[in-house]
Copies of this chain bind each other. A is one copy, B any other.
Amino acid sequence: MAHTESKETGKIPEPTLRRLPWYLAFVKLLKGKGETFVSSTQIAKAINVDASRVAKDLSFVNISGKTRVGYEIDSLIAVLDEFLGFTTTHKTFLFGAGNLGGALLQDSGLKQYGLEIVAGFDIQESLVGKEINGIPVFHLDDFPALQSKYGATIGIITVPVEVAQSVADYIIKGGIRALWNFTPFRIRVPEGVVIQNTSMYSHLAVMFNRLQNY
> What is A's interface to B at a CB cutoff of 8 Å?
1-2, 5, 9-12, 14, 17-22, 24-26, 28-29, 32, 46-48, 84-86, 88, 90, 98-100, 102-110, 113-115, 153-154, 161-162, 177-178, 180, 183-186, 188, 192-194, 196, 198-214
Contact = CB atoms under 8 A, between A and B. Distances in A.
Given A11-B213, A17-B209, A103-B107, 9 more contacts: A2-B213, A22-B184, A25-B161, A86-B204, A90-B211, A99-B106, A99-B109, A177-B211, A178-B207
A188 B48 contact: yes
Contacts of A178: 207, 210-211
Contact of A204 (B9, B114, B201, B214): B114
B154 A211 contact: yes
A113 to B, nearest CB: 5
Contact of A22 (B5, B10, B46, B186): B186
Consensus secondary structure, chain A interface: helix
Indicate how many identical chains form the complex: 2
B201 A21 contact: yes
B24 A184 contact: yes
A84 B196 contact: no
A115 B201 CA distance: 10
A101 to B, nearest CB: 9
Contacts of A205: 17-18, 20-21, 84-86
Contacts of A102: 106-107
Contact of A12 (B5, B202, B209): B209
Nearest 3 A/B pairs, CB to CB: A85-B208, A25-B184, A99-B109
A162 B46 CA distance: 13
